[in-house]
Structure formats: structure tokens, C-alpha cells
């Protein structure tokens, strides 16, 4: 009998048995024969792969469990505010990251082995947007230490560092060479992806903590010297990002109408570029190139643009377009070229799909070989060729050359930092070196975070800033630097949770026989925290517990090629509270109990039991009576989250 379409679309993908296992095992055999193992259950906290995949190190499972109602907030705090506080322990930009992060957490999600990942980004946007609408503030109760840190760069890394330092009690001065804070959030990503209403609010919420001062339109190394900063501040963090784009490595790439992707986007985000060229070609294939071509389609072109206001002059910062041009613009022809085939492009697949829907043409598996220029030296076409990899290097295929007519070429093939005036920090590649603690080698009191170490994701820069702030705190307090944990993220802390719930362990008192702790109230009994050493995989879960549950997909506003001109609205529609709770409920809470009762229900000896309600909190839902336990392993087998190990009592 053929498999129905419904079965194909809803059939679970996990396998309980491995290849070669073909004999049915009677679970009753475990009950009567496994007691010789001398092993009893212990409850082991491990890090889920979503969190292990998050460069910011957010406690993703934690705030999903809060939204779904598993972890209850303290009295007087709403679910939304408690989730906001847990989320922003690592990352102070939930609205922004919920919109633009490419979500490596979702790629790592164990739910992919059931049917589909949990929509972590969508729930994070819900948390962030709700926080803005409800006016939640950051905790600034830490008293100031009297130490002050200079932070060079007011982008994601710099602002995240200022935020984390303020939580530790240190004030800062943020220097930035723009008129406004935001860095890549504001000048490198279009406003329809990082809506300014939410971005500005998230920046202001950090500044409202107090103890964070700002100096704008000031370039360190030019307007103020490094030596002066060293005299005035107790430490310096370099978070200047990378805003110098790489030119195409082909002849005539220095033509005036060949510009970088970062310069193109900054001109748009500043509002100086109101229209683009008639025929635009962008070379790339990553996120920046997608933003370039999407902006170009939205801006469009006009046929009567004066020569002195051609896009390259505006992008170069020499002039600004009159905003009235917007009313007269028509659609531009926009082409994106990529060295790699479409399925191998580094941009997210849905972003590529959206760009094509908006009218962008994509040429994949090709490479530029020459910029064709006219007698005036301006580019009129980009010569391309099919490419193949030879000894790991892209090589044009002979005889496959063709030309793409254009009047603006945008290079989005990489970027580096602008270290003019800061040459002493340049490692020779336009970047700043860092050790594993984010200290600048050979520069006492200097620290670094973000793209200026190596261009990567926004979430990476924010995660580096968090670790960097901890290093600066140790430097300022003259504390010993501890080795960073193997799994270096913001972990759930059971002891903190017990303290929050008023269930903290009592003071230790010696008794004659204290070999066991099952009846003691000075110890957290039968619990082990391995979260800083281990990430739990789907192999350790009981996936049979989880039913097929479709993802709650948030709506997107993606205009068609006919609608895209002048379309600058927020693209992502936030989940409702009901949708956010339902989507968070799909989280499998890998490595932490989510109170399903399987171990209690299936224990044949009634050895596993729920703790009393007045002793219960997240991570302490069940306990074991070891006088009844026979070591049958059933509780461990049926634990969906892999929270139970058979280990205690091993002889």
C-alpha cells in the first residue's frame, strides 16, 4: 500500500533502533534483570545545541521555557518581562536579533530530528517587541566602581560591552565617528530589516542605565589620540568594526562607479542616496550583497539625474540626493552574481528567495574577470565567466565569458577595518589581533571585540563583547583570569534559581554519617551540572515522546517585483502571544526537565516521585527514593530531554 501524502508530510523522522537491532526487547526484562547494575538515576543538566550554537551564548532553552510556562517567574514579574531578562542576560538587542540574526541556533536545534526546528528568532522578536511596548528597563542596581572604560565604536559590540560593564558596576565612554550610535545595525543594514523605532529604543535602553556617556562625530586616532585615552581611562575596548569594503580583484575595478557594498548601504542608511543607477550589478552572494540588491530594487532610478549626482558621488560622500527624486523614480535592473552555485551561497536561502521575488536576477557559479570601461573611464559592463575550482582557487572557464551591462558595480566580497591613525594596532590585514580573553597582545589595558577581530555575525560580536567585558572587569579588579569553560555560554544556574525561589540550601552541619545527601538540606541532592562541559545531542533524547507539531511561522511582508519600488516597511510580522507560547512549547528542553511526568508514570517501583510543591522549582521537579530503586533504567529511557542518567550508586 502506498504511503499517503499526509503520512509523508507528518511522519516523524526519528529512529528508536539502530541498524542491525532487529530483536524486540521486552521492557519487563529490564524490570526484573537490571537491578544487578547498582545504578540509580541522577539528574544531569547539559547545554542544548541551540545554545551551544549561539555565538552570543543566550540561554535559549531558558527563555523558551519561560514563555511556554515551564519556568515560572518570581512573584510580581510577568512571563514577558522574565523572558526578557533571561534573554538579555547575554544579548541586549532581542528585537534586532529576532529579526536579522541568521539563527545558527535553529540549524543546531534537536527538533530538526523530529520535524522542524523551533522558531527561536520569531519568539525572540516577540520578547523584544513586547519589551519595547511595555517599557521594560535594564537593571542598573550595581553601584559604580569609580573605574571608567573607553569604548571605541558604538555598534553592536561596543554597546553590548558598555551594557555588560555597567551591570558589573563600571562606567564607560563610547566614542563613535558617526552622528548617531548603532554601527552596523544602523548604517550597514537597511531600516526595513532593523526598524529604527525598535533599534533606537534598544540603544536608548542601554544608555538609560546611567554611567554610559557618549562622544559622537569623533574619530579616535584623528580627533583624539590613543595616548590621551590611555591617560584618561582605566581600560580601552576597540570595537570599531569593519567598514572598508574590498574592491574586485579584476582590471579596471578602480572605475569611479565601482563602489563597495558597505559604502553603498551607509549612503542609503544616512538618507543621502535617494535613487540608484539604472543597471546595477552586485558581486557577492552573502548577506551584505542581498541587502545591496534589495535596496537597489527599492530605490529604483530616474533618467534625469544630473551627472554630479550620480550614485558614486553620493556614495563617496561628496553630495546628497534631493529627496524629491523619490517621487520620480522607476524600477532599476538589478543583478546579483555569486562565485558559488545558489545552494552554496552564504546568504540565507529565504533571503535569496525574497530577493528573486523582488525582481533581482541571480547569476550563480560565475566570477568577474574584467570591468569594461568607456573613454571617460566609467564602467559600462562587467565581464563574467563561468568558474571552476582549481587547487582550491576559482578559475574562469575558457570560452564562457559574457558581459552584463551596468552603470553601477557594487563589490560585496568582504571587508576590513579602517585603522588610519591607529596603525600601531594593525596586524597587517586591516584587523586587530586578540587572545582568547579578547586582550590585545602586547598592549596592556587594551581589549578588542567584534568584526575588527574577524568579520562575522552580529551575534558573534555581541558574544565577544560579553566575554571581553568579563576580562576587563577582571583587569580592573585585579582578579585572577580563570580558564574559560569548554561550553562558553550563559548557563542556567540551579543554585540561583533556588535562591530566587527561597529554596537555597541550609548551612552545612557535620553529622556522624554524612556519606549520603538524600535526606540532607545542605546539599542539592542527586543533581549534576555538566552544562559547561557537554552539549546534549538528539541521540540522548527520547524522541518518541514528541508528536508532529508544525512550526508557527511568522508572517513576512515581501513585496513582489511590481510592489518593491519605495517599499521600506518592516518585513517581519511579530507573533501574537498565543503563537509565541505555542512555538515555545515546541522546544524539547534538551538537557533540562520540562515536567512531563514520564519518569514518575513509568517507574515500576514508584521510586521516582514529584517533590513537594513548596520545594519545587525548575530543575527540581522529581526526586528518587533510592530504597525503592532497582536500577531498571526505565526512567532514563523514557526521559524526553535526556535529563536522567543512570549513574548514582555505581560500584
In a shared domain, residues 253 and 225: no
Assess whether pLDDT exceeds 90 at residue 632.
no
Average pLDDT, the chain: 91
pLDDT tier at 567, thresholds 50, 70, 90? very high
For residue 3, name the pLDDT band (cuts at 50, 70, 90): very low
Residue 515's pLDDT band (boundaries 50, 70, 90)? low
Structural element, H or E, at residue 333: strand 333-338
Q: Are residue 406 and residue 424 in the same domain, yes or no?
A: no
pLDDT band, residue 543 (cuts 50/70/90): very high
Whether residue 281 is found in the same domain as residue 330:
yes
The Cα–Cα gap between 565 and 568 comes to 9
Does 43 reside within a domain? yes
Write down which residue in 428, 447, 477 finishes a domain. Answer: 477
For residue 36, pLDDT over 60 is answered with: no
- Smallest Cα–Cα separation from 220: which of 436, 446, 454? 446
Residue closest to 337 by CA, chosen among 358, 318, 315, 352: 352
Residue 139 lies in a domain: no
Residue 13 within any structural domain of the chain: no
Of residues 507 and 422, more confidently modeled: 422
Give the integer Cα–Cα distance in Å for 293 and 336. Answer: 7
Task: Look at 133 and 391; give whichever has higher pLDDT.
Answer: 133
Judge whether residue 27 has pLDDT over 60: no
460 lies in the same domain as 519? no
Are both 407 and 426 inside the same structural domain? no
Q: Kindly state whether residues 435 and 390 are assigned to the same domain.
A: no
Closest CA to 465 of 279, 254, 266, 206: 206
Q: Tell me which of 133-142, 260-269, 489-498, 573-582 is least confident.
A: 489-498
3-state class of 306 per DSSP? coil
Calculate what percentage of the chain has a pLDDT beyond 70.
Answer: 92
Position 630 pLDDT exceeds 70: yes
Residue 194 domain boundaries: 148-243+417-477
What's the predicted TM-score (pTM) here?
0.92
- Phi then psi for 222, rounded to 5 degrees? -130, -60
Question: What CATH number is associated with residue 373?
Answer: 3.50.50.60
Question: Are 568 and 519 members of one domain?
Answer: yes
Q: Could you report the per-residue pLDDT of 438-465, keeping only the tens digit for each? A: 999 999 999 999 999 999 999 999 999 9
Q: Report the distance separating Cα 292 and Cα 590, nearest Å.
A: 38
Q: How confident is the model at residue 425 (pLDDT cuts 50, 70, 90)?
A: very high
CA 258/CA 190 separation, integer angstroms: 20
Distance CA 157, CA 112 (A): 31
Query: What is the mean predicted confidence (pLDDT) over 356-368?
Result: 96
For the chain, the domain total comes to 3
The answer to the question of residue 523 being in a domain is: yes
Question: 535 and 437 in one domain?
Answer: no
Q: Looking at 251-255, 348-352, 504-508, 607-611, which range is the least confident one? A: 504-508
* Same domain assignment for residues 402 and 496: no
Pair 337, 282: CB distance under 8 Å = yes
| Average pLDDT of the segment spanning 326-337 | 89
Q: What is the mean pLDDT of residues 314-330?
A: 82
Residue 83 CA to residue 103 CA, distance in Å, equals: 18
Q: Cβ neighbours of residue 244 under 8 Å, at least 6 residues apart?
A: 260, 262, 415, 416, 417, 418, 430
Whether residues 296 and 343 fall in one domain: yes
The per-residue pLDDT for range 144-160, each reduced to its tens digit, is 999 999 999 999 999 99
> Is 505 a member of any domain?
yes
Lowest average pLDDT, out of 32-41, 90-99, 491-500, goes to: 32-41
438 and 568 assigned to the same domain = no
In this structure, the answer to whether residues 272 and 401 fall within a common structural domain is yes
- Answer whether residue 11 is part of any domain: no
Asked if the structure places residue 378 within a domain, the reply is: yes
Domain annotation covers residue 3 = no
**pLDDT by residue (tens digit) across 73-102?**
999 999 999 999 999 999 999 999 999 999
Write out the three cell numbers for 641. Answer: 530531554
Stretch (H or E) spanning 251: none
Among 379, 399, 415, the domain boundary falls at: 415
What would the pLDDT profile of 208-249 be if each residue is shown by its tens digit?
A: 999 999 999 999 999 999 999 999 999 999 999 998 999 999
pLDDT over 90 at 163, yes or no: yes
* Strand, coil or helix: 215: strand
Amino acid at each position: 500500500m502506498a504511503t499517503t501524502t499526509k503520512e509523508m508530510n507528518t511522519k516523524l523522522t526519528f529512529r528508536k533502533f539502530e541498524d542491525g537491532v532487529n530483536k524486540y526487547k521486552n521492557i519487563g526484562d529490564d524490570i526484573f534483570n537490571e537491578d544487578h547494575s547498582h545504578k540509580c538515576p541522577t539528574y544531569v543538566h547539559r547545554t542544548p545545541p541551540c545554545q551551544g550554537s549561539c555565538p552570543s551564548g543566550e540561554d535559549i532553552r531558558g527563555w523558551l521555557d519561560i514563555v511556554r510556562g515551564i519556568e515560572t517567574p518570581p512573584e510580581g514579574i510577568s512571563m514577558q518581562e522574565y523572558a526578557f531578562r533571561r534573554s538579555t542576560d547575554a544579548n541586549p538587542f532581542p528585537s534586532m536579533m529576532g529579526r536579522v540574526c541568521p539563527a545558527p541556533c535553529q540549524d543546531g536545534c534537536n527538533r530538526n530530528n523530529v520535524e522542524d526546528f523551533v522558531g527561536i528568532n520569531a519568539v525572540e522578536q516577540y520578547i523584544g517587541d513586547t519589551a519595547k511596548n511595555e517599557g521594560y528597563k535594564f537593571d542598573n542596581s550595581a553601584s559604580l566602581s569609580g573605574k571608567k572604560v573607553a569604548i571605541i565604536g558604538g555598534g553592536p559590540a561596543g554597546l553590548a560591552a558598555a551594557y555588560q560593564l555597567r551591570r558589573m558596576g563600571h562606567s564607560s565612554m563610547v566614542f563613535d565617528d558617526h552622528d548617531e550610535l548603532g554601527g552596523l545595525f544602523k548604517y550597514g543594514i537597511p531600516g526595513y530589516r532593523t526598524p529604527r523605532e525598535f533599534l533606537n529604543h534598544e540603544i536608548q535602553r542601554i544608555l538609560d542605565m546611567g554611567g554610559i556617556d557618549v562622544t559622537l562625530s569623533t574619530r579616535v586616532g584623528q580627533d583624539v589620540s590613543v595616548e590621551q585615552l590611555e591617560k584618561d581611562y582605566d581600560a580601552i575596548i576597540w570595537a570599531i568594526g569593519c567598514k572598508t569594503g574590498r574592491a574586485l580583484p579584476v582590471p579596471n575595478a578602480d572605475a569611479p562607479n565601482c563602489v563597495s557594498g558597505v559604502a553603498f548601504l551607509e549612503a542609503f542608511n544616512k538618507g543621502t542616496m535617494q535613487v540608484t543607477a539604472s543597471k546595477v550589478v552586485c558581486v557577492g552572494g552573502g548577506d551584505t550583497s542581498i541587502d545591496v540588491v534589495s535596496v537597489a530594487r527599492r530605490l529604483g532610478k530616474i533618467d534625469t539625474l544630473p551627472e554630479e549626482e550620480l550614485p558614486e558621488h553620493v556614495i563617496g560622500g561628496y553630495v546628497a540626493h534631493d529627496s524629491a527624486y523619490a517621487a520620480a523614480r522607476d524600477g532599476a535592473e538589478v543583478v546579483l552574481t555569486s562565485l558559488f552555485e545558489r545552494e552554496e551561497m552564504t546568504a540565507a536561502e529565504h533571503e535569496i528567495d525574497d530577493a528573486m521575488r523582488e525582481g533581482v536576477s541571480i547569476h550563480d557559479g560565475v566570477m568577474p574577470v574584467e570591468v569594461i570601461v568607456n573613454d571617460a573611464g566609467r564602467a559600462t559592463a562587467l565581464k563574467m565567466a563561468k568558474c571552476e575550482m582549481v587547487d582550491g582557487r576559482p578559475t574562469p572557464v575558457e570560452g564562457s565569458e559574457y558581459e552584463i551591462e551596468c552603470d553601477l558595480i557594487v563589490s560585496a566580497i568582504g571587508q576590513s577595518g579602517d585603522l588610519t591613525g591607529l596603525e600601531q594596532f594593525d596586524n597587517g590585514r586591516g584587523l586587530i589581533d586578540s587572545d582568547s580573553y579578547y586582550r590585545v597582545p602586547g598592549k596592556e589595558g587594551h581589549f578588542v571585540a567584534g568584526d575588527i577581530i574577524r568579520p562575522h555575525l552580529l551575534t558573534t560580536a555581541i558574544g565577544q563583547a560579553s566575554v571581553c567585558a568579563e576580562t576587563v572587569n577582571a583587569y580592573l579588579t585585579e582578579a585572577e583570569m580563570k580558564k574559560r569553560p569548554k561550553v562558553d555560554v550563559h548557563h542556567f544556574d540551579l543554585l540561583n534559581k533556588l535562591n530566587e525561589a527561597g529554596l537555597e540550601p541550609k548551612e552545612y552541619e557535620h553529622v556522624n554519617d554524612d556519606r549520603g545527601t538524600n535526606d540532607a538540606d545542605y546539599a542539592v541532592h542527586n543533581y549534576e551540572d555538566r552544562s559547561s562541559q557537554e552539549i546534549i545531542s538528539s541521540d540522548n533524547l527520547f524522541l518518541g515522546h514528541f508528536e508532529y507539531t508544525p512550526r508557527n511561522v511568522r508572517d513576512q511582508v515581501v513585496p513582489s517585483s511590481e510592489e518593491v519600488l519605495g517599499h521600506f516597511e518592516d518585513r517581519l510580522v511579530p507573533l501574537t502571544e498565543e503563537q509565541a507560547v505555542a512555538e515555545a512549547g515546541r522546544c524539547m528542553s534538551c538537557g533540562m526537565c520540562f515536567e512531563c511526568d514520564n519518569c514518575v508514570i513509568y517507574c515500576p517501583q514508584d521510586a521516582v516521585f514529584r517533590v513537594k510543591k513548596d520545594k519545587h522549582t525548575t530543575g527540581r521537579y522529581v526526586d528518587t527514593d533510592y530504597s525503592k530503586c532497582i536500577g531498571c533504567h526505565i526512567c532514563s529511557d523514557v526521559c524526553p530531554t535526556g535529563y536522567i542518567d543512570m549513574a548514582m550508586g555505581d560500584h
